[in-house]
Amino acid sequence: MKPRRQGLHLAVEVLAPVVVVLAILVFTNTTESFFLPPLQDVFTAFTRNWIFARVPSDLLPSLARLAVGYGAAAALGIVLGVLFGRSPAVRRQATPIVEFLRAVPPTALLPFTLVTFGIGDDAKIFLIALVCIWPILLNTIDGVTGIESTLQETGRSYGIPAVPRLLRIELPAAAPQIFAGLRASLPLAIIVMVISEMMGAINGIGFFIVQSQRSFAIADMWSGIVLLGILGYLLNLILSLLERWILAWHRGSRAVAR
C-alpha cells in the first residue's frame, strides 16, 4: 500500500501544476483584457528575455544582491541569536531594541536608504538584510533557549570547553529552529529585493518588470513575474535539500524516538 500511496501523491504533485497551467492557458486565450496576454506569448517573452539575453544584465545583479543581503542577515542573526539565547541579561536588555526595529516596515526606510546609499547595490543589500534578520534572530533565540537543561549540564559535567560545547551540542540542538528562521526569511528577501529594484535601480528583475509595465510590454512584464516564481521555488528547494542534509541526524533521532 505504501508504494501505491507514494505513487498517488507523486501523480497529484505532477498533475496539479499541469491543470493550473492549462486553466490559465484557456483563460488568457479567451479573455480580451490587454493586461492578461495569452500564456504562450508570456512563454515566448520568457524565452526571449531570460534564456541568456537578460541573465547578465538583470538576473545576475538581482541574485548577487539577494545572496549578499540574505547571507549577511543569516550570519548576523545566528551570531546575535546565540549571544542573546545564552545570556538572559543581554536578551532582556536587547529585547526592546529588537522589538522596536522589527516593527519598522523596511519599505518605509527605502527613501532613507536611497538618500544615504544612493541607487547602488548597498541600499538594496541593506534592506534585504534588515528584513531577513528578524525571523532568523528570533528563531535562533528560541532554539538556543529551548535546549534541554540536562543536555547542557551533561556537556558541562564532562568538562567540555565552551566553544566545542557550542559547536557540537548547542548549535546542532538549535539547528531545526535556525533553519525554520532561514526558510521564513527567504521569501521576504525576494520580496524586498524586487521592491527595492522597482523604486531605485538601473538593473535587476524588479527594474525590468517596472520598465516593461511603463512601456506597455505586458508579456515581458509577466515573464519577469514568472521568473520570480521559478526563482523562489528553486531557492526554497535548495534550502530544503540543504536542511535535509544537515539535519539528517535530527530526523533519525525522531524516528528512533517514535
Contact predicate 197/205, CB 8 Å: yes
- In degrees and rounded to multiples of 5, residue 32 shows phi and psi of -105, 10
Exposed / middle / buried, residue 252 (Cβ in 10 Å: 0-12, 13-18, 19+):
exposed
**pLDDT score for 109:** 80
Condensed to tens digits (0 to 9), the pLDDT of residues 131-184 reads: 999 999 999 999 988 877 776 677 677 677 777 777 788 888 889 999 999 999
Indicate the fold that domain 35-257 takes in CATH. Answer: MetI-like fold (1.10.3720)
CB 167 within 8 A of CB 228: no
Q: What count of Cα atoms within 13 Å lies in the side-chain half-sphere of residue 21? A: 9
Task: List pLDDT tens digits, range 45-76.
Answer: 999 999 988 999 899 999 999 999 999 999 99
Q: What is the pLDDT of residue 256?
A: 47
The least confident of 79-93, 103-117, 202-216 is 103-117
Which one-letter DSSP state was computed for residue 109? G
Measured CA to CA, the distance from residue 67 to residue 158 in angstroms comes to 40
Question: What is the tens place of the pLDDT at every residue in 242-256?
Answer: 998 888 866 655 554
pLDDT digits (tens, 9 = 90+) for 146-161: 877 776 677 677 677 7
Q: Which residues have CB under 8 Å from 183's CB, separation 6+?
A: 236, 239, 240, 243
**Residue given cell 518588470 in the structure block:** 209
pLDDT at 65: 94
